[in-house]
A and B are shown apart, each in its own frame.
Chain A
Amino acid sequence: MAILQTVGLGKDYGDVVAVEALDLTVEAGQLTALLGPNGAGKTTAISMICGIVPATRGNVCVAGHDIATEPFAARRALGLVPQDLALYDELTARQNLTFFGRLYGLSGTLARQRIAWALEVAGLTGRADSAVSRFSGGMKRRLNLVAALLHKPRLLILDEPTVGVDPQSRNHIFETIRALNRDHGMTVIYTSHYMEEVQSLCDRVAIMDHGRIVALDSVDHLIATHAAPMVEIGFEGDANTVEQALAAVGIAGPGVTVADGTAQFPHGHRLGAAFSALEREGTRLRSVHTQAADLESVFLALTGHRLRDD
Chain B
Amino acid sequence: MLGAAIIKDTQLLLRDRARLATLFLLPVIFVAVFGSIFTSRGEEMRQLPVYHEPGDRRAAALVAALEASGAFHTTRYERAEKVRQLVAEGDVLAGLIIPPEFDPRAGKPAELAIDEGAPMQVRGPVEGAISGVLTAAYVAGPRAEEFSVLDPRTPPGLDRPLAGAGGFQHAVPGNAMLFGFFLALTVALSFGEERTSGTWRRLLAAPVSRPVVLLAKLVPWALVGLVQMAFLFGTGALAFGMQVAGSVASLCALTAAVVVCATALGLFIASMGGSEKQVGAVGSICLLVMAAVGGAMIPRQLMPETMQTISLATPHAWALEGYFDLLNRPGTTLAQVAGSIAALSGFAVVFATVGAWRFRFDR
Contacts and interface: CB of A to CB of B under 8 A. Distances in A.
A103 B12 contact: no
Contact of B362 (A54, A85, A91, A98): A54
Contact of B202 (A73, A86, A95): A86
A51 interface: yes
B273 to A, nearest CB: 15
Contacts of B198: 82, 84-87
B215 to A, nearest CB: 14
Contacts of B203: 103
A91 B12 contact: yes
Contacts of B361: 52
B204 A52 contact: yes
B158 interface: no
Given A86-B197, A86-B198, A80 B8 contact: no
A102 B3 CA distance: 9
A253 B168 CA distance: 83
A143 interface: no
Contacts of A89: 197
B201 interface: yes
A88 B199 contact: yes
A75 B207 contact: yes
A56 B5 CA distance: 31
B12 A88 contact: yes
A104 interface: yes
Contacts of B201: 47, 52, 80, 82, 84, 86
Contacts of B163: none
Interface residues of B, number: 25
Nearest to A89: B197
A95 B1 CA distance: 14
Contacts of B12: 88, 90-91
Contacts of B5: 99
A147 interface: yes
B154 interface: no
Nearest to A86: B198
A208 interface: no
B8 A72 contact: no
A71 B210 CA distance: 11
Interface string A44-56: 0001001111100
A80 B11 contact: no
A85 B198 CA distance: 6
Interface in A64-92: 71-73, 75-76, 78, 80, 82, 84-91
Top-6 shortest CB links A-B: A86-B198, A102-B4, A103-B206, A72-B207, A53-B362, A75-B207
Given A80-B202, A84-B198, 7 more contacts: A51-B205, A75-B207, A85-B197, A99-B4, A99-B8, A102-B4, A104-B207
8 contacts: A51-B205, A52-B205, A73-B207, A86-B198, A90-B16, A91-B12, A99-B5, A103-B208
